[in-house]
Amino acid sequence: MGIFIDYAFSAECSEEELLQKLNRLRRKILELPAQMQIESVSEVIRVDPVYSPMLPRELEKQGYALPELVARRLAEPQSESYNQLRIDLVSPFFSFVPKELVYRFEQPGIVLAKNSPYWRTEDYPEELKIGWAITYFRDGIFLEFARVLLRYGYIIIVNPGKGCESVCIGLSTYRTSDPNATPLWLGSGFTKTQYAENVQRAHTNVCEILDIIKDEGLLYAAQDNSGFYEHRDWQKSAPIIREELGFVRGFSQIFEEVVQDDPDITTISSPALGPLDPELL
């Protein structure tokens, strides 16, 4: 729903080479023309460990003790903003990436999960339900423990325009015991541009940023639901944009009417939808 671009990143290289690529990429984004109005570009940030904090919290909430080594790793103090970076790196799926490649990426974690001396199978449930929608099976619990111990990565956060969602350029990998192994790095995410103050500029900026990522050999694939990334022609994207934003505006109007009828809810501001060229609307 709305206007967005999905993307996936990949690289098979040393950590040193990845950092060189990310630093070059960051410099190129910073050198983009001022008229593009890129809001901000973060430093290259190391995130270690990379894992979903939801599972450890839920295990403890339901009375299960974390393995000592995992608990010690999680006890290292981190800020809330740092925890958000972890979430940005832990994609629930890798868009466009073949299952075979994802399996190879996860292999170090899978091996540790199945053969770890750090936890006992009988200490954890066959399945753990979180709310009504999420279920972790035992193998998944152990894989998450392995991620806490082995997975790490790097991320750059780019704000492509005022009001727009960020572009999170993040790739992670697993430590292995083989000093000669070449790390496989993967990442995935998406950016909604419909809330930007200037939708066209922000959307174009996201595409330009993805072009730079591609030039550095880090872009696996990208897909734009308006088609603009592929053809760079706003007129071709106009029918899709009209349909998507019309649906979002209709949904927002219904939501506002429901909220206004509820005395227990205060409306602070209406959902923002940035302007487009009138010819496209």
Question: How far is C-alpha 59 from the chain's CA centre?
Answer: 24
Q: Which residue, 145, 151, 230, 146, is CA-closest to 187? A: 151
pLDDT value for 116: 92
- Secondary structure class of 109 (helix, strand, coil): helix
Q: What is the C-alpha to C-alpha distance for residues 158 and 197, in angstroms, rounded to an integer?
A: 16
pLDDT value for 257: 46
pLDDT value for 92: 60
Encode the chain (281 residues) as per-residue pLDDT tens digits. 688 899 999 999 999 999 999 999 999 999 999 999 999 999 999 999 998 888 999 999 999 999 999 999 998 877 666 677 777 777 666 778 899 999 999 999 999 999 999 999 999 999 999 888 889 999 999 999 999 999 999 999 999 999 999 999 999 999 998 888 999 999 999 999 988 999 899 999 999 999 999 999 999 999 999 999 999 998 898 888 878 776 455 434 433 444 345 444 433 333 344 555 554 44
Q: Show the DSSP H helices in the chain as ranges.
A: 15-30, 54-61, 68-74, 80-89, 99-115, 138-150, 199-215, 228-231, 234-260
* Bond preceding residue 49 cis, omega within 30 of 0: yes
Q: What is the C-alpha to C-alpha distance for residues 84 and 6, in angstroms, rounded to an integer?
A: 19
Do residues 168 and 159 touch, judged by C-beta distance below 8 A?
A: no
Q: What is the C-alpha to C-alpha distance for residues 2 and 193, in angstroms, rounded to an integer?
A: 8
Residue 102 sits at φ, ψ, to 5 deg, of: -60, -40
Q: How many CB atoms lie within 10 A of CB 262?
A: 9
For 241: left if phi > 0, alpha if psi spans -120 to 50, otherwise beta; the answer is alpha
Do residues 170 and 9 touch, judged by C-beta distance below 8 A?
A: yes
pLDDT value for 277: 56
pLDDT value for 244: 73
Q: Which residue, 152, 145, 174, is CA-closest to 89? A: 152
pLDDT value for 208: 97
| Largest distance between two CA atoms of the chain | 64
Do residues 9 and 171 touch, judged by C-beta distance below 8 A?
A: yes
pLDDT value for 271: 39
Any idea what DSSP says for residue 34?
G
- Secondary structure class of 233 (helix, strand, coil): coil
